[in-house]
C-alpha cells in the first residue's frame, strides 16, 4: 500500500485532466504532476535516499507542495511537514529528532541553512526546478513498495512537556482518512476543486488525498493563505470550491459575506463545501454562518494522532432545524466517523455511561502507529488499541459527542495548538523572571489568547516589551503571549502547585 498509487492511477487514466492551479493558472495536469513527482522520486533514490528516510517540508502553501509530497511517497520516503509559523530554531529541533536528511523550504522561512540537514533546497530555485524536471517515461519509475503500517507522514504536534512529539501516521491511516471523507464528510467528483487557504502542513494538506482519489482539481491561492475576497473570486472563476478552515477562518469568510453584502446564491457559486475543525464553533457563530452562507458546512473533529477522523457533524444535521435537539446537536462535534469507535472513560480507562463526562477515546484504522522515538508517550496514549485523546466530553443516546473541555492546559488560538509549558520554559530563561504561568483567555476572534502571569526576581526590571522580544527571538510569533500581567506571587496550593484555575478566574472577572 503506497499513497503514490493514487496519483499514478489518474495519471494513466486521465493524463490531460487539469490537476494543480496557482490562482486560476494551470500548473499541472495529472500526467504532468506524475511526471514531475516521478522525476524527483528517481533523483532522490539516485542521491542515496532510502525508503523510510525522512524529508522535511518547511514551506508556505505552494503548488509544489503537492508535487513534493507525492514524490516522497513515490520514493517510499516519510514526509515531515512543518508549520510555516515555527521559528528556525524550533524547526532544527524537529530536524534532529526526525533525523531528516533533506529539506525543501521556502527561502524566506529559513534564510540560513537549517542545522542538521544534509541538503536544503529552496522550492523556487533552479536546483528545485532540476529535481522536479518531468520524466517523459514517468510510469517506468516503480512506486516503492510500502506496507500498510509503514509511516508516510511524521507530524510534529506540541506535547505537554514543551517539546513536540512526532506522530507516526501510516499509509493505512491516510488511506482510511481519504476513503472515509467520501462517506462521512463530502462526496467528491472529478469536476470539484479544493482550495488550500489553511496550512498545507496540517489537515488541509492531507485533504488532498481524497481529492486525488477522485481526480479533482487542487487550487493554491496566489496569496498562499486566507484572503476572503480572493477566495470568493477564485470560486466564482473556477467553480464552487471546497476548503478546510478553522473556526476563525470561517468567521472571516462570514464577515466578508456580511460586509460585501453577498447573497446566499452568490455564496453557493463560490463555495460547495466548507469543512471546519480544529476547535468547536460557538452555536451563535455556526447559526450566523448558516444564515449568511447557506447549508455548505460540515464539522469534523480529530487530532494529529487520528488525522481528521474521529467525529463528523454533517450538513444535513446542521440543517435539520426542526429536530427537537437541534441546538444540542450543533453544539456537539457530531457522531463517530465510519471507521472508528468512540468511548468516554474515567481516569482508570473504564467506560462511562451516556451523559457522563470523561476522557474521549478513539479506536480504528485512522489512529496513529505511535510517537516517533518516544515509547513512553506512546504507551501513555495508546492502550489496548484505544487512543486516549486528553479531550473531555460526553456522548448522548444518539451517539453525538459534545466536548466539555480540552486537554487540561491546552490553548487553541486561531486553530493552532499552544502548550503553556513550552512558553513558560522559554520565559523562565530570561534573567529577572522568577516565576511564570501561562493560560488562555477567551477571545471572540481567535478563540483564545495566550496570557502570561509573571513574577519578577527582586530588583529586576521587566516590561512586556522585553518579554515579547525574548519570545520572538526563539519562538514562533503565534505562540507568544498577547498579554503580560505582573504579580508579586503566583497562587499555589499546599503542595506548591500553581493554581491556574485561580488565574483563569481572575481573567474572567477582568472581562466581566
According to DSSP, residue 76 is labeled T
Q: Best-predicted range by mean pLDDT among 238-242, 456-460, 475-479? A: 238-242
Share of the chain above pLDDT 90, in %: 81
Q: Do the domain assignments include residue 479?
A: yes
**Is the CB of residue 219 less than 8 Å from the CB of residue 62?**
no
Smallest CA-to-CA distance from 462 within 451, 473, 472, 470 is with 470
Of 146, 178, 200, which closes a domain? Answer: 146
The x, y and z cell numbers of residue 101, run together, are 536528511
Q: What does the pLDDT read at residue 124?
A: 97
pLDDT tens per residue, range 366-408: 999 999 999 999 999 999 999 999 888 899 999 999 987 555 6
Q: Give the separation between CA 216 and CA 62, rounded to whole angstroms.
A: 17
**Is the CB of residue 139 less than 8 Å from the CB of residue 12?**
yes
Q: Give the separation between CA 484 and CA 475, rounded to whole angstroms.
A: 16
Angle made by CA atoms 411, 416, 418, in degrees to the nearest 5: 40
pLDDT tens per residue, range 197-211: 999 999 999 999 999
Share of the chain above pLDDT 70, in %: 96
Which structural domain, as residue segments, surrounds residue 438?
411-511
**Is the CB of residue 180 less than 8 Å from the CB of residue 362?**
no
> Residue 160: is its pLDDT beyond 60?
no
Element spanning 151, H or E: strand 151-158
Which stretches of 226-382 are DSSP H helices? 228-238, 247-260, 264-270, 283-293, 315-319, 326-330, 375-381
348 and 425 part of one domain: no
68 and 29 part of one domain: yes
> Residue 336 CA to chain centroid, in angstroms?
19
6 and 129 part of one domain: yes
pLDDT band at 495 (very low <50, low <70, confident <90, very high): very low
**Is the CB of residue 343 less than 8 Å from the CB of residue 331?**
no
484 and 388 part of one domain: no
- SS3 for 444? coil
pLDDT band at 156 (very low <50, low <70, confident <90, very high): very high
The tally of domains found in the chain comes to 3
Q: Give the separation between CA 266 and CA 163, rounded to whole angstroms.
A: 45
Widest distance between CA atoms in the chain: 73
> Residue 156 CA to chain centroid, in angstroms?
10
Q: What does the pLDDT read at residue 357?
A: 86
Q: What does the pLDDT read at residue 280?
A: 63
The x, y and z cell numbers of residue 421, run together, are 509549558
The C-alpha torsion from 59 through 149 and 195 to 316, rounded to 10°, is -150
Please name every residue paired with 433 in a beta bridge, in sequence order, or none if there are none.
456
Of 113, 130, 146, which closes a domain? Answer: 146
Q: What does the pLDDT read at residue 212?
A: 98
Q: Give the separation between CA 117 and CA 127, rounded to whole angstroms.
A: 16
- SS3 for 371? strand
437 and 505 part of one domain: yes
pLDDT band at 142 (very low <50, low <70, confident <90, very high): very high
pLDDT tens per residue, range 274-313: 999 976 677 878 999 999 999 999 999 999 999 999 999 9
Greater pLDDT, 417 or 172: 172
Element spanning 413, H or E: strand 411-413
364 and 505 part of one domain: no
pTM summary value: 0.85
512 Cβ neighbours under 8 A, 6+ residues apart: none
- Cα atoms in the 13 Å half-sphere on the side-chain side of 91: 29
Q: Do the domain assignments include residue 465?
A: yes
Q: Give the separation between CA 53 and CA 364, rounded to whole angstroms.
A: 26
Of 83, 114, 146, which closes a domain? Answer: 146
> Residue 41: is its pLDDT beyond 50?
yes
Q: Do the domain assignments include residue 415?
A: yes
Distances (CA, A) of 465 to 85, 140, 311, 418, 473: 21, 58, 42, 21, 12
Distances (CA, A) of 221 to 19, 25, 86, 298, 503: 14, 10, 21, 22, 41
Smallest CA-to-CA distance from 232 within 190, 206, 260 is with 260
pLDDT tens per residue, range 338-370: 999 999 999 889 999 999 988 999 999 999 999
> Residue 49: is its pLDDT beyond 90?
yes
479 and 382 part of one domain: no
50 and 139 part of one domain: yes
DSSP string, 119-147: EEEETTSHHHHHHTPPPTTGGGSPPPP--
Q: What is the CA radius of gyration of the chain?
A: 23
Smallest CA-to-CA distance from 481 within 509, 453, 444, 508 is with 453
Q: Do the domain assignments include residue 317?
A: no
418 and 505 part of one domain: yes
The x, y and z cell numbers of residue 230, run together, are 480572493
Mean pLDDT of the chain: 93
CATH of the domain at 45: 3.40.50.12780
pLDDT band at 498 (very low <50, low <70, confident <90, very high): confident
Amino acid at each position: 500500500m503506497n499513497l503514490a498509487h493514487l496519483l499514478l492511477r489518474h495519471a494513466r487514466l486521465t493524463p490531460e485532466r487539469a490537476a494543480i492551479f496557482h490562482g486560476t493558472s494551470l500548473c499541472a495536469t495529472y500526467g504532468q504532476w506524475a511526471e514531475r513527482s516521478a522525476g524527483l522520486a528517481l533523483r532522490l533514490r539516485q542521491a542515496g535516499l532510502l525508503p523510510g528516510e525522512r524529508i522535511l517540508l518547511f514551506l508556505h502553501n505552494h503548488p509544489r507542495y503537492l508535487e513534493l509530497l507525492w514524490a516522497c511517497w513515490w520514493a517510499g520516503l516519510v514526509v515531515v511537514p512543518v508549520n510555516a509559523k515555527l521559528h528556525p530554531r524550533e524547526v532544527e529541533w524537529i530536524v534532529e529528532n526526525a533525523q531528516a536528511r533533506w529539506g525543501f523550504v521556502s527561502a524566506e522561512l529559513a534564510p540560513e541553512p537549517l542545522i542538521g540537514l544534509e541538503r536544503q533546497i529552496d522550492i523556487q530555485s533552479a536546483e528545485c526546478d532540476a529535481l522536479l524536471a518531468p520524466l517523459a517515461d514517468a510510469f517506468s519509475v516503480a512506486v516503492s513498495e510500502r506496507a500498510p503500517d509503514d509511516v508516510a507522514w511524521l507530524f510534529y504536534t506540541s506535547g505537554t512537556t514543551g517539546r513536540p512529539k512526532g506522530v507516526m501516521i501510516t499509509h493505512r491511516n491516510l488511506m482510511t482518512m481519504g476513503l472515509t471523507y467520501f462517506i462521512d464528510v463530502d462526496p467528491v467528483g472529478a469536476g470539484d476543486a479544493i482550495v488550500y487557504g489553511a496550512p498545507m502542513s496540517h489537515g488541509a494538506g492531507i485533504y488532498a488525498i481524497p481529492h486525488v482519489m477522485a481526480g479533482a482539481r487542487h487550487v493554491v491561492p496566489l496569496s498562499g493563505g486566507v484572503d476572503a475576497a480572493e477566495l470568493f473570486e477564485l470560486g466564482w472563476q473556477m467553480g464552487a470550491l471546497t476548503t478546510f478552515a478553522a473556526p476563525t477562518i470561517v468567521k472571516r469568510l462570514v464577515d466578508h459575506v456580511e460586509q460585501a453584502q453577498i447573497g446566499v446564491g452568490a455564496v453557493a457559486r463560490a463555495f460547495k463545501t466548507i469543512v471546519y475543525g480544529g476547535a468547536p464553533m460557538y452555536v451563535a457563530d455556526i447559526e450566523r454562518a448558516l444564515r449568511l452562507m447557506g447549508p455548505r458546512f460540515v464539522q469534523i473533529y480529530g487530532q494529529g494522532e487520528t488525522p481528521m477522523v474521529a467525529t463528523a457533524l454533517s450538513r444535513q444535521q446542521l440543517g435539520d432545524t426542526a429536530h427537537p435537539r437541534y441546538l444540542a446537536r450543533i453544539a456537539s462535534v457530531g457522531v463517530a466517523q465510519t471507521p472508528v469507535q468512540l468511548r468516554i472513560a474515567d481516569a482508570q480507562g473504564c467506560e462511562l455511561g451516556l451523559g457522563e463526562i470523561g476522557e474521549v477515546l478513539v479506536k480504528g484504522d485512522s489512529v496513529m502507529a505511535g510517537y516517533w522515538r518516544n515509547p513512553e508517550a506512546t504507551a501513555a496514549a495508546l492502550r489496548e488499541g484505544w487512543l486516549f485523546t486528553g479531550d473531555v466530553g460526553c456522548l448522548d443516546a444518539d451517539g453525538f459527542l459534545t466536548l466539555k473541555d480540552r486537554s487540561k492546559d491546552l490553548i487553541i488560538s486561531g486553530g493552532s495548538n499552544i502548550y503553556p509549558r513550552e512558553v513558560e520554559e522559554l520565559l523562565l530563561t530570561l534573567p529577572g523572571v522568577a516565576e511564570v504561568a501561562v493560560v488562555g483567555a477567551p477571545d471572540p476572534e481567535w478563540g483564545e489568547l495566550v496570557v502570561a502571569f509573571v513574577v519578577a526576581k527582586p530588583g529586576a526590571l521587566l516590561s512586556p516589551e522585553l518579554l515579547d522580544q525574548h519570545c520572538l527571538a526563539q519562538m514562533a510569533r503565534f505562540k507568544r503571549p498577547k498579554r503580560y500581567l505582573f504579580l508579586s506571587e503566583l497562587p499555589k496550593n499546599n503542595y506548591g502547585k500553581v493554581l491556574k484555575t485561580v488565574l483563569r478566574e481572575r481573567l474572567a472577572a477582568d472581562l466581566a
